[in-house]
């Protein structure tokens, strides 16, 4: 009697067999159309962003005329100087994200404290002082210089910080100082150095509000090779993991499951220790409801109720994992066997190991395209100029054009008003719905 093969009878070759379906075709045309439309839209957005965008808007500070400090004709003037830091203390700053004071690009920050009155009297000081003016005042009288805001009323010893000049504040005991002095002359009266703190805080808010994209872009350009190296390491480790699955699938899967259980158990133990140690700490027994929302999340780690919540959450998670492990252990064994077979299949088709690398390469291109497009898209706007005035003005915060502002009705109605750069935006539908 003839013995049957171990895996059954082999199927005989049929030259007329054309496969399970002879006339194959796309089974989901609608989704295919949506996918193509999405790709076309993705490319169209990228073209718009690259056409209208300019990353310099978030990389370099901008003066009152909308010029980039450190670029073009201002290449040797990389720092932004505020005429009157006290104006940055205005509540309007938090709404407009702009200090209502002239801003100019300078070569270096002031290293001495001067007023316009004292500087004009000494030729050497006046020459130094004019480097912080919007334009050369020539022989104009001091009243005209101040009225037209050609030069600042005073200079304060400053230091550069993120391409901007901020007063050099310090402390003598509990007294705030600027340039080693606890008082300064703002051209009108003697002020305490602490008065500059509010202006600096609001100017910092302006800087943070307008430079988030800049920091992302700078970090990306400075650390792209580290990101690439880490991704390559991840690819190599993934390939090693796939190869090891062929021989150690069962051991690796069960070890990972046990490690998850052990990590959660360590979390429970650590939270319990912290909970017990805070027992005699003053103020640790208040509830989360009594504490309310705190911007500094580390505050919550000094409360016992926080660690109690961690213990409860981790304990529930641990129980769920163990229950799933008990009732689905047979399914896990089946999954392990499937992983072994999949690893053997990969061993026979070694070219499949390179498919994840190809996918990784394409994914890297997509992510890089998305990141660069996002930066260009966020900067594809136009400079917007607003009317700023120290007193009440019917045209305050209205859009203006600096080229013809001096002969406009706005300037006539409000003689002391100025048309200053406010932000990047636009009035067209493209900019409104960007």
pLDDT of residue 94: 40
Higher pLDDT, 423 or 333: 333
Which pTM was predicted?
Answer: 0.49
Average pLDDT (71-86) is 84
Extents of the domains making up the chain: 60-210, 214-348, 381-434
Per-residue model confidence as pLDDT tens digits over 289-342: 666 655 556 777 888 888 899 999 999 999 999 999 899 888 888 888 888 787
For the chain, what percent of residues have pLDDT higher than 90? 8
How many other C-beta atoms are found inside a 10 Å radius of the C-beta of residue 317? Answer: 15
Per-residue model confidence as pLDDT tens digits over 373-421: 887 877 777 777 788 776 677 777 788 877 777 778 887 778 777 787 7
Per-residue model confidence as pLDDT tens digits over 181-232: 666 655 556 666 666 665 555 455 444 444 555 566 666 667 777 877 887 8
pLDDT of residue 431: 60
162: phi > 0 → left, psi -120 to 50 → alpha, else beta; which? left
pLDDT of residue 393: 77
Kindly indicate the confidence band of residue 425, based on its pLDDT and cuts at 50, 70 and 90: low
Q: For residues 139 and 132, what is the distance between their CA atoms, to the nearest angstrom? A: 16
pLDDT of residue 197: 60
Say if residue 96's pLDDT is above 50: no
Exposed / middle / buried, residue 66 (Cβ in 10 Å: 0-12, 13-18, 19+): middle
Average pLDDT (114-128) is 85
What's the chain's Rg over C-alpha atoms?
Answer: 34
Average pLDDT (248-252) is 80
Pairing relationship of beta strands 164-167 and 158-161 according to DSSP bridges: antiparallel
pLDDT of residue 264: 94
- Tokens for 266? 């360590």
Q: What is the mean pLDDT of the chain?
A: 76
Q: For residues 58 and 215, what is the distance between their CA atoms, to the nearest angstrom? A: 9
pLDDT of residue 295: 52
pLDDT of residue 366: 87
Kindly indicate the confidence band of residue 20, based on its pLDDT and cuts at 50, 70 and 90: low
For residue 117, CA distances in Å to 157, 184, 192, 335, 380 come to 17, 14, 19, 84, 43
pLDDT of residue 120: 84
pLDDT of residue 312: 94
């Amino acid at each position: 009697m003839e013995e049957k093969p171990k895996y059954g009878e082999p199927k005989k070759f049929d030259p007329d067999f054309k496969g399970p379906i002879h006339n194959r075709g796309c089974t989901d045309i609608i989704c295919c159309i949506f996918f193509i439309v999405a790709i076309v839209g993705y490319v169209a957005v990228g073209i718009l962003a690259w056409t209208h965008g300019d990353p310099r808007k978030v990389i370099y500070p901008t003066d009152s005329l909308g010029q980039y400090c450190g670029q073009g004709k201002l290449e040797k003037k990389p720092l932004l100087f505020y005429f009157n830091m006290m104006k940055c203390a205005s509540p309007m700053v938090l709404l407009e994200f702009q200090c209502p004071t002239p801003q100019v690009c300078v070569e270096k920050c002031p290293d001495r404290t001067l007023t316009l009155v004292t500087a004009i009297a000494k030729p050497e000081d006046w020459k130094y002082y004019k480097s912080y003016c919007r334009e050369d005042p020539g022989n104009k009288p001091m009243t005209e210089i101040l009225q037209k805001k050609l030069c600042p009323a005073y200079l304060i010893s400053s230091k550069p910080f993120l391409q901007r000049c901020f007063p050099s504040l310090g402390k003598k005991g509990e007294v705030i100082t600027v340039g080693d002095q606890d008082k300064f002359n703002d051209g009108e009266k003697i002020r305490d150095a602490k008065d500059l703190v509010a202006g600096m805080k609001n100017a910092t808010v302006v800087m943070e509000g307008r430079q988030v994209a800049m920091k992302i872009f700078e970090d990306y350009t400075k650390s792209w090779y580290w990101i690439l190296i880490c991704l390559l390491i991840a690819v190599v480790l993934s390939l090693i993991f796939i190869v090891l699955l062929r021989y150690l699938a069962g051991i690796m899967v069960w070890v990972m499951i046990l490690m998850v259980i052990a990590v959660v158990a360590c979390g429970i133990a650590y939270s319990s220790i912290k909970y017990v140690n805070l027992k005699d700490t003053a103020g640790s027994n208040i509830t989360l409801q009594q504490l309310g929302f705190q911007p500094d999340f580390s505050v919550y780690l000094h409360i016992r109720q926080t660690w109690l919540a961690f213990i409860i959450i981790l304990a529930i998670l641990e129980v769920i994992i163990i229950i799933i492990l008990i009732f689905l252990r047979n399914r896990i064994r089946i999954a392990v066997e499937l992983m072994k077979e999949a690893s053997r299949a990969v061993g026979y088709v070694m070219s499949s190991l390179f498919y994840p690398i190809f996918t990784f390469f394409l994914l890297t291109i997509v992510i890089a395209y998305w990141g660069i497009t996002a930066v260009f898209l966020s900067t594809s706007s136009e400079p917007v100029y607003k009317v700023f005035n120290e007193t009440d003005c019917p045209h305050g915060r209205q859009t203006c054009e600096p080229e013809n502002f001096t002969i406009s009705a706005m300037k006539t109605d409000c003689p002391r008003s100025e048309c200053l750069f406010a932000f990047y935006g636009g009035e067209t539908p493209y900019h409104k719905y960007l």
